[in-house]
Structure 1
Amino acid sequence: MPPAASAGERYGVVWASATSAGKTAGNVTQIHRVGVRVYLDIGPGGEPASDFTIGKLLPARSPQGEPSVTVEVANTGGRAIDLTGKVTLTEGPAGTRAGPFEVTQGTTLAPGQSGQVTARFPNELPNGPWRIEVNLESGMVKRSASAKLTFPDPGGTGTPGTGLSRIATGWTVGAAAVGLLVFTGLAMLARRSRRRALAVH
């Protein structure tokens, strides 16, 4: 890299290409090419942190009847993210469940950029209502959300999912369990203290 290169993250590709020798009998040339994508971070302090948030979940159904959900995502970290993930539908009509379904591949967002990923479902999927659970990840960063939504009729766009919330992670569940144990222990101690005070009187 040039010594005067400014700090920040760069994007590039390294190409390897081979072209067949020209032929006098024809005008077709074969080119074989392969590339490797490069994320180049310039500057001190190591790699910037990666993070993203999940926004609205918008249900839709194509004119051909294919239902889908578009998930808004914002890159809130300091480096590019490549999003993958799955979508699961639960609590549907008569308690039905569907999925998990893969989201569209190849969604890359630069720092500060917002975009969308989409999950598509079978045409015969009922309109709902459903509870949708979205699990997205980029490398080691994983984010989840859930909402209630209903798919529209063919050719329509539904109302964005309501009640959007983070799904509790293992850490938050553990913290809640510890808090519950502490609360229960304090309540038991208070009850014993009251009994002792009554016995003394």
Structure 2
Amino acid sequence: MPRFFSLAVLLATALAVATSTASATSLVSDPVQRPNPPDAVGIRLVDVPADLIKDPRARQYIVDSLKPGVTVKRRIEVSNKSADALHVAVYPGAADIRRGSFVGAAGNTGNELTTWIKPGQLILDVPAHSRARDTVTIAIPKDAAPGERYGVVWAQVSGRDLGSGITLVSRTGIRLYLSVGGNNPPRARFTVDDMTAERDGKGRAVVHAKVHNTGGRALDLTGALKMSQVSGSISAGPYPIDSGKSLAPGQSTSVNVIVTDQVTDGPWDVSLTLKSGLLEVTHEARITFPKGPGMAAAVLSHPDRQSPLNWRIISASMALVLMLIATLAIIRPYRRSARDDDS
């Protein structure tokens, strides 16, 4: 059965994603219950577009090239290989291609594509050793910008709380590669070219960021700035940007942030997150405020280098999962021994 990749998520402490082309990771159950096998839940495509019948990718993934205003339906099949009935959640999630890998975002993170996708049923109750089908509808808006978008249709099973607020989740999914054609303007994009630190006449710290609209849509910007002291553990913010910033394609403007707290000159590592509609971009820079009124030299900013998945959290969470499994392996023989002694 073709699958995309699988995920073990340690909720309550972090969201961790483990990608592969194999089956879903184990759903760790309560020690007194029969655990599900590692590949208890599966998902596959039922339909393949006639014009892509010879494309092996189209047999495993949802691969389509569509025009704005078009609606298509794709049938999927969710399988349960375990000996127990499963309560399976079906939902779309965001994805991206980074460093040569197709990466699904953590949790139920969405993007523009996920707003166009609607499963027929959000929950499937699948009996033991059985299968259930669902229909996924993809509706492309009439004003959709051209370009390729990525996502995943997930099938997810949640385990019971194992104590201490820990719940494990197992999911597996089908990749989506959706290319939109047509003559609509390009999608919204923008860059943050540089940032400048200032002390105004009142002694307040102010950060100016130069934003350039590089896409084909008008922008209405909102957002906030966070600060972290380079030489210590002090952090500040978030501080909102000034309101009412709109940019037509090709235009540039300065986005301004007044730091309402009294802060030292720095240096500071700042992170500016800007949004326009569903588009969200984070840029970072290292700045130092002047000692007195005036402006420092502009410094180049760079995109946030963190991927949708925070790999430090992933590593820590997976380590906790392994520790939890090892602990259960120790507890079970002890419980059996205790029951034998009681008898």
TM over 0.5: yes
Aligned with 2:246 (options 101, 104, 108): 108
Aligned with 1:141 (options 279, 290, 294): 279
Partner of 1:155: 293
- CA RMSD in angstroms, aligned pairs only: 2.2
Gap runs ≥5 in structure 2 = 1-142, 144-181, 315-343
Q: Is the 8 A contact 2:239 2:260 kept in 1?
A: no
Aligned residues: 132
Q: Aligned equivalents of 1:165 and 1:117: distance in 2?
A: 16
Summarize the alignment of residues 16-165 of structure 1 with structure 2, pairs less than 5 Å apart.
45-92=183-230, 94-122=232-260, 124-161=262-299, 164-165=301-302
Q: Is the 8 A contact 1:60 1:67 kept in 2?
A: yes
Q: Is the 8 A contact 2:221 2:245 kept in 1?
A: yes
Q: Aligned equivalents of 1:122 and 1:141: distance in 2?
A: 27
Q: CA deviation at 1:94?
A: 3.3
Highest Rg: 1 or 2? 1
Q: Aligned equivalents of 1:66 and 1:93: distance in 2?
A: 21
Q: Aligned equivalents of 1:47 and 1:63: distance in 2?
A: 43
Gap runs ≥5 in structure 1 = 1-40, 178-201
SS at match of 1:95: coil
When residues 171 and 97 of structure 1 are mapped into structure 2, their CA distance, relative to the original with a 3 A threshold, is closer
Q: 1:113 corresponds to which letter in structure 2?
A: Q
Q: Aligned equivalents of 1:170 and 1:96: distance in 2?
A: 24
Could you state the TM-score of these two structures normalised by the residue count of structure 2? 0.36
Q: CA deviation at 1:155?
A: 1.7
Q: 1:170 corresponds to which letter in structure 2?
A: S
Q: Is the 8 A contact 2:268 2:287 kept in 1?
A: yes
Could you state the TM-score of these two structures normalised by the residue count of structure 1? 0.59
SS at match of 2:194: strand
Q: Aligned equivalents of 2:265 and 2:205: distance in 1?
A: 8
Structure 1 residues 66-75 or 94-103, which shifts more? 94-103
When residues 94 and 170 of structure 1 are mapped into structure 2, their CA distance, relative to the original with a 3 A threshold, is closer
Between Structure 1 and Structure 2, which shows a larger proportion of helix residues? Answer: 1
